[in-house]
Amino acid sequence: MSDIVVVGGGIVGLSIAFRLVRGGADVTVLDGGDEGAWQVAAGMLAPGGESAYEHPALARLLERSAELWPGFARELGVDVGYDDTGTLSLAMTADDIAQAARVWTRQQLPLLRPSELRELEPALSPRVRAGVLAPHERQVDPRKVVAALRESLGSRIVPKRVQSLSDVDARTVVVAAGTGTAALTGLPVRPVKGQVLRLRGEPGLLRHVLDAAVDGREVYIVPRADGEIVVGATQEERTDRLVTAGAVHDLLRSAIELVPALAELELTETTVGHRPGTPDNAPLLGRLDDRVVVAAGHHRNGVLLAPVTADLIAGLLLTGDTDPMLADFSPRRF
Ligand SMILES: Cc1cc2nc3c(=O)[nH]c(=O)nc-3n(C[C@H](O)[C@H](O)[C@H](O)COP(=O)(O)OP(=O)(O)OC[C@H]3O[C@@H](n4cnc5c(N)ncnc54)[C@H](O)[C@@H]3O)c2cc1C
């Protein structure tokens, strides 16, 4: 067995292993094989969301990772769908504008008129009343990222579901098992269900990620270069994997109200994933004890946070240095 075993081959565990291998470490990844949250995630790299304002240390972590993404994407050496066109944050009704205005004011972004919005994104509904362009809110395709990481790590990834950390034969164990982290460590990581749709059409219908409030309902639309369009997502305190009629209806209704042409596209996927949530919605990063290090609980931002998590955890294990950034995310805080 290797010096370091990473338990969990999702986007976080693989990114850590990738960084450790680059740093010369002897690493094995054990992965349980069930679909991680990365499989359904939209891949928005949005450091300026609501959660960031409630938690300044988390805001800094999100910002740092957003800065790392262009270099990380280049390092992976293949196209992972990193796209810096930016996000249009939109509102449909007066109530939606009032709600969104709080975030827009904090972001200090200029308000765009409907005509300016449609110049940027001609397929938008004429009903869209206001919006802002957030140029630093970008996207990547998590499925392509995981494929690239798997390719790079190759036979270092071993299919195995770990039942107990005492069964893992290694000097150091990194637990990066998403929602599976709770069963392995007893830490409070809970599944937060998200239902997501994928549509497919001709490339080029949309240029930006759209993040909107439509009659009080939140929806985002993430267009990929190949014509795939991701529509998400519900946020439910549930553990089941059911795709429900109500969620599909609500997501499609909001998305089509925002971009009427979506009604003509093929609905290719309806999927469910579980975000690994924590009591304060911030990740658990750092030492649990002398042998076990945790990197879990990334909730809604695990794709965005993968590069910074990899750097911080690899730094801790390769040099023994605890970056001051880790102080606010200790897994022992609960
Ligand atoms: C609907 C939805 C939309 C999202 N959109 C975004 C987004 O736009 N931007 C963003 O940044 N984030 C987004 N996320 C969040 C992101 O997907 C997660 O934060 C991220 O996937 C967490 O990564 P992870 O590697 O910790 O866990 P996961 O991706 O869930 O992977 C966990 C891995 O651990 C393995 N595992 C579990 N238990 C064990 C065990 N006992 N032994 C061995 N292996 C085990 C599993 O098989 C899996 O491979 C979204 C999530 C959802 C559900």
**Mean pLDDT (whole number) for 64-91:** 97
180 by DSSP, 3-state: which? helix
Of 226, 224, 219, the C-alpha closest to 248 is: 219
How far away, in angstroms, is 151 Cα from ligand 1 center? 18
- What CA–CA distance (Å, rounded) separates 288 from 174? 10
The CA–CA distances, whole Å, from 45 to 63, 69, 134, 135, 264 equal 10, 9, 11, 11, 28
| Residue 159 predicted with pLDDT over 80 | yes
Long-range contacts of 114-117 (CB under 8 A, 24+ apart): 117/88, 117/90
Instruction: Report the nearest-CA residue for atom 15 of ligand 1.
Output: 300
| Distance from residue 112's CA to the centre of ligand 1 (Å) | 35
Tell me, what's the pLDDT at 303? 98
What type of residue is 24? G
Ligand 1 geometric centre to CA of 118 (Å): 35
Mutation pick for ligand 1 pocket among 303, 308, 312, 313 (CB with most ligand atoms within 8 Å): 303
Residue 261 preceded by cis peptide, ω within 30? no
Half-sphere exposure (Cβ direction) of 100: Cα atoms closer than 13 Å: 30
pLDDT, position 321: 85
Question: Which pLDDT score, from 0 to 100, does residue 79 have?
Answer: 98
- Does the pTM of the predicted model rise above 0.85? yes
Of 34 and 76, the structure prediction assigns the larger pLDDT to 76
pLDDT per residue as tens digits for the range 276-307: 999 999 999 999 999 999 999 999 999 999 99
Ligand 1 pocket test: which of 12, 15, 38 has the largest number of ligand atoms within 8 Å of its C-beta?
Answer: 38
**pLDDT confidence of residue 50:** 62
Contacts of 51 (CB under 8 A, 6+ apart): 58, 281, 299, 300, 301
Give dist(CA 246, CA 92) in Å, integer: 21
How many A from CA of 253 to the centre of ligand 1? Answer: 27
Please, are residues 33 and 330 in contact by the beta-carbon 8 Å criterion? no
**What single-letter amino acid sits at 180?**
G
| pLDDT value at residue 51 | 63
> So what's the pLDDT on residue 115?
94
Q: What is the pLDDT of residue 178?
A: 98
- In this prediction, residue 242 carries a pLDDT of 97
How crowded is the C-beta side of 332, counted as CA atoms within 13 Å? 9
- Give buried/exposed letters for 301-322 (b at 16+ CB in 10 A, else e): bbbbbbbbbbbbbbbbbeeeee
| 1 pLDDT above the threshold of 70 | no
Distance from the alpha carbon of residue 259 to the mean position of ligand 1, in angstroms: 29
Please give the distance, rounded to the nearest whole angstrom, from the Cα atom of residue 250 to the centre of ligand 1. 24
Share above pLDDT 70 across residues of the chain, in percent, rounded to a whole number: 99
- Most ligand 1 atoms within 8 A of CB, residue of 12, 83, 309 to mutate: 12
Ligand 1 center from residue 308 Cα (angstroms): 16
From 179, 300, 309, 313, mutation site for ligand 1 pocket: most ligand atoms within 8 A of C-beta: 300
* Number of other CB atoms surrounding residue 93 within 10 Å: 15
Q: What is the pLDDT of residue 103?
A: 84
User: 296 alpha carbon to ligand 1 midpoint, in Å?
Assistant: 9
| Ligand 1 atom with least separation from CA of 222 | 8
| Angle between helices 56-76 and 142-153 in degrees, nearest 10 | 60
Q: Categorize the per-residue pLDDT at 52 as very low, low, confident or very high, splitting at 50, 70 and 90.
A: low
* Mutation choice for ligand 1 from 82, 140, 195, 298, CB with most ligand atoms inside 8 A: 298
Structure tokens of 28? 């094995």
Lowest mean pLDDT among 96-105, 154-163, 189-198: 96-105
pLDDT tens-digit series, residues 127-149: 999 999 999 999 999 999 999 99
Residue 105 banded pLDDT, cuts 50, 70, 90: confident
How does residue 54 score in pLDDT terms, banded at 50, 70 and 90? confident
DSSP reduced 3-state for 127:
coil
Helix (H) or strand (E) holding 198: strand 190-200
Residue type, 178: G
Q: Please report the pLDDT score of residue 35 as a whole number.
A: 83
Q: Which domains does the chain have, with CATH numbers?
A: 4-79+140-188+278-333 (3.50.50.60), 87-134+191-277 (3.30.9.10)
Residue 128 pLDDT: 94
Mean pLDDT of the chain: 95
Ligand 1 pocket (Cβ < 6 Å) reads 7-13, 30-34, 36-38, 40-44, 161-162, 176-178, 180, 184, 194, 196, 232-233, 273-276, 296, 298-304
Ligand 1 atom showing the smallest separation from residue 12 Cα: 25
